[in-house]
Amino acid sequence: MFQLFLGLLLLIFGVFLKLTKEQGFSKSKRFWWMFVLIGILSVVAQIFIMYQKGEF
């Protein structure tokens, strides 16, 4: 369950990086796609694992 929360947090942070106009995030703004991809893969994998264990 904690992995679902972390995956969603990474996904939200990636979207935040894509949409923000803050100057402090300008160097890491190009990595927004990586955070979104890792977040999506993490959430999908955890849902699959929970489904296989019968917890879902």
Cβ–Cβ < 8 Å for 11, 39 = yes
Residues in the chain: 56
Q: Write down the mean pLDDT value for the chain.
A: 92
Write down the pLDDT at residue 55.
82
What pTM value is reported for the model? 0.83
DSSP H/E element including 1: none
Cβ–Cβ < 8 Å for 16, 38 = no
Report pLDDT digits (tens) over 33-50.
999 999 999 999 999 999
Cα(52)–Cα(27) distance, rounded to whole angstroms? 40
Write down the pLDDT at residue 56.
73
pLDDT for residue 1 is more than 90? no
Write down the pLDDT at residue 12.
96
Cβ–Cβ < 8 Å for 56, 50 = yes
